[in-house]
Amino acid sequence: MTTAQIPGHSDQPLAMAYDTALLDLDGVVYAGAAAIDHAVEALDAARSGGMRLAYVTNNASRPPRVVAEHLTSLGVPAEPADVINSAQAAARLVAEKVPAGSKVLVIGGAGLVEALAERGLVAVESLADGPAAVVQGFDPSVGWARLAEASYAVAAGLPWVASNLDMTVPTARGIAPGNGTLVAAVRVATGVEPEVAGKPLPPMHRETVLRTGAKRPLVVGDRLDTDIEGAHNGGVDSLLVFTGVTTPAQLLTAPLPHRPTYLAADLRGLLEPHPEVTALPDGGFACRGVRAGVLDGELRLDGASSAGDRFDGLRALCAAAWAALDRDGEPVDGRKALAELGF
C-alpha cells in the first residue's frame, strides 16, 4: 500500500495486518525519561496479539543495551536485539569504506563506540590518533571542542559519516537541537557534506531489515521527514502518531513522500482497524460520517459534529488537501476545518 494520495485503510487492527512494528522511540514510545501516554498498554496488547516489536531510532547516543533497559524500566520489555539505531547503520557504512581494524574518530556517545566495535573498528577521540574516517552522532555532551576536532579531520579529507540529520529531538521539557544542528556546524566550517546513514535514507532501512527479518513491516513514527519518508523510500507502509513533533496542519501540506499510510492519535492506533476514505462524485472525500472538500480556497467539512472520531475528519481532510496540492501545486487553508475538529 505504502504512501498514497488518500490515507489507507485496514479492516483488521494493524497489529494483526503486519508482522513487525518498526517503532521510532523519541516522541512515539517515550519523551525523555517518561513513557508517552498509552504507549505501554498499547505495545503490550500488540505484542500479546503476536506482533513483533522492534525499536528503530535515529538517536545514536545510547547503545541498544541501554535503550532496552530503559524500555524495560518503563514497562515495555525489550532485549538489545530489539533495538536498531542509526549508530549501527553508520558503523556499517564506515566499515565498508576503511580496512578492518581501522581507527575512527568518534564525535558522539557510547552508542557509536559500541557500534564501531561490533564492526571491528577502534574508536578514537583525536585526529592525532591517526583515524581513517570520522563518524558523528547525537550526544548531549558534544560541545565546541568535539565539533572543532571533527572539522579538522573532515577538512583533512577523511571520509565523514553522520548517523542522522534530525534537526530536533523531543525531550520532557520540549523540543531541543538534534544531531542535524551539530552536523550543520561541521558542514559550515568545512564546506563538506557527510554521507548520512539514518532515516529516511536507505542505509537505515537496510540495517533494520537485516536485523529484524521483517516480512510485513509497519513503520511507526512521529516525523514526516524521517519516519514516514523512510517508509516511503523503503516501499513499506507507515503509521503516523501525533505524540511527537508533527502537527495535523503540517500533515495537510505534506508532499507525497511524507504522507503516511495510516494516522492515529497515539500507539493505540496499532490496535484498531482504520476506516476507508472514499472519493465523492463532487470531488470531495468522505471517511465514515465526515465529508471534506475545497471551496473558495479553503478546506471545508460536513458532518464533523456528529463524527465519533475526529481522526475520521482528519483523514478526509488529508485526502482533500493532498488532492488539491497535487493538482494545483499549492497548499489550501485548513485552519478553520482543523479547528472544527478540535486540533
pLDDT, residue 168, reads 86
DSSP label at residue 256? G
Query: Which backbone phi and psi does 287 adopt, to 5 degrees?
Result: -135, 110
Which residue shows C-alpha cell 485548513? Answer: 334
d(CA 327, CA 322): 8
Reduced to 3 states (helix: H, G, I; strand: E, B; else coil), residue 118 is: helix
Kindly tell me if the per-residue pLDDT of 170 is higher than 90. Answer: no
Model pTM? Answer: 0.88
pLDDT, residue 236, reads 94
Residues 154, 195: contact at Cβ < 8 Å?
A: no
DSSP 28-62: TTEETTEEPTTHHHHHHHHHHTT-EEEEEES--SS
pLDDT band at residue 289, thresholds of 50, 70 and 90?
confident
pLDDT band at residue 159, thresholds of 50, 70 and 90?
very high
pLDDT in tens, 16-71: 999 999 999 989 999 888 999 999 999 999 999 999 999 998 888 889 999 999 99
Residues 91, 135: contact at Cβ < 8 Å?
A: yes
pLDDT, residue 210, reads 87
Distance of CA 212 to the CA centre of its chain: 17
pLDDT, residue 308, reads 60
State the catalytic residue, choosing from 26, 166, 222, 312: 26
CATH of 14-58+201-271, one of 1.10.3210.10, 3.30.499.10, 3.40.50.1000, 3.40.50.1820: 3.40.50.1000
pLDDT, residue 251, reads 97
Residue spans in the chain of domains classed CATH 3.40.50.1000: 14-58+201-271, 87-196
Look at domain 87-196 and name its CATH class.
alpha beta
Cis previous bond, 200, omega within 30: yes
pLDDT, residue 304, reads 72
State the catalytic residue, choosing from 24, 166, 225, 227: 24
Q: How far is CA 302 from CA 141, 285, 309, in A?
A: 51, 10, 14
Residues 156, 120: contact at Cβ < 8 Å?
A: no
| Between 160 and 209, residue with greater pLDDT | 160
d(CA 229, CA 117): 30
Active site residue 24: yes
pLDDT, residue 91, reads 97
pLDDT, residue 4, reads 57
Q: Report which secondary-structure segment, H or E, holds 204.
A: helix 202-212
DSSP label at residue 275? P
